[in-house]
Structure 1
Amino acid sequence: MGISVTISAATEDDAEKILKLQYLCYQREAEIYGDYTIEPLTQTLDDLRAELSQGPVLVARLGEEVVGSVRGTVDQDGTASLAKLIVHPRMQRHGLGGRLLSAIEARLAEESAAKRYRLFTGHRSEGNLRLYRRNGYAPVGTEQVSRKLSLIMLEKEAAPQAFVTSA
């Protein structure tokens, strides 16, 4: 019998594992854009630890190994910003990215009543764009970061919260 992947809140003890996985996962993005100075590859462990306190950070575990992660925050207007959705290369194309995306959306809706979800990805990151579109995200804008990189902003509205009334 195999081990199944579980998704849970990250702990302080996960910070170094997340950072190592982030470094591994963003190599492909850096290669696509010819830029190995992108923020996910230059982020420090201290910066990541600070992010752990700013909003929910989820991890996907295969046994004790962290094989995926995603982060989120919500602003005053109810816009949830999702960031650094990563899945170990050997675990990609098995639905884990979609599971992490759904889990962070649910967590942000539950904890902060998010009204919409927003994320960014590079204009040449076709796999990411497919994943986000498949999960209901639509492009709403583009930001030119450098001569080589434009970020596409994608959004989707949060599902209306179901309210239960007692009789």
Structure 2
Amino acid sequence: MGLSVTISAADAADAEHILKLQYLCYQSEAELYGDWSIEPLTQSLDDLRAELAEGYGLVARLGDEVVASVRARLDEDGTVRIAKLIVHPRMRRHGLGGRLLDGIERHFAEAAVQPAPSPKRFQLFTGHRSEGNLRLYRSKGYAQVATRELGPRLTLVTLEKVAA
């Protein structure tokens, strides 16, 4: 019998697994842009733990293995900043990225019912050559709102979606 993927809230105990997966997943981005100094590859375990404590994260598990993750936080202006949506290379093209994106949006929409700021928009960014990422985000209703050139090889594309 096969295992199914489950999605749940990330906690401090997941941090080391997420960091290892992040390092694996961002190798292809580093190669695409010729830059192995990108923040996801240099982030410390303590910084990742702080991100989880300050915001909210999800993990997808296949059995006990963390195979995908995403993190986000709600700013004072009502923007949910989504970051580091990662899926293990062997698990890509199975809808996990979309499920995590839906899950993080749903979490912040439901959290708004409590005495918390309501999200006005969801925002994320990716590199201009990351076609798979851009395709996923656009299919989920995100539209490009800005670009920022970080150097001769990398332009960040910021995409946004109005919260329901």
1:146 equivalent in alignment to 2:145: no
Structure 1, unpaired ranges of 5+: 160-167
**Aligned amino acid, residue 70 of structure 2:** V
Report SS of the residue matched to 2:54.
coil
CA shift for structure 1 position 20: 0.2
CA shift for structure 1 position 147: 1.5
Query: Alignment partner for residue 135 of structure 2, among 122, 130, 133?
Result: 130
TM-score (norm 1): 0.93
Q: Distance in 2 between matches of 1:157 and 1:68?
A: 25
CA shift for structure 1 position 154: 0.2
1:100 equivalent in alignment to 2:105: no
Contact 1:9 1:59 in 2 (8 A): yes
CA shift for structure 1 position 52: 1.0
**Aligned amino acid, residue 98 of structure 2:** G
CA shift for structure 1 position 2: 1.3
Residue deviations 1:91-120, cap 9 Å, x none?
000000000000001111222421110000
Q: Distance in 2 between matches of 1:111 and 1:148?
A: 38
Structure 2, unpaired ranges of 5+: 113-117
Aligned pairs, how many? 159
Moved more, 143-152 or 80-89: 143-152
**Aligned amino acid, residue 3 of structure 1:** L
Report SS of the residue matched to 2:156.
strand
1:91 equivalent in alignment to 2:91: yes
Residue deviations 1:106-144, cap 9 Å, x none?
111222421110000000000000000011000011011
Q: Which residue of 2 aligns with 1:162?
A: none
Report SS of the residue matched to 1:105.
helix
CA shift for structure 1 position 51: 0.7
Q: Distance in 2 between matches of 1:35 and 1:137?
A: 26
- List structure 1 runs of 4+ shifted beyond 2 angstroms: none
Q: Which residue of 1 aligns with 2:8?
A: 8
Q: Distance in 2 between matches of 1:99 and 1:36?
A: 28
* Structure with larger Rg: 1
Quick one: percent identity of the two aligned structures?
Answer: 69
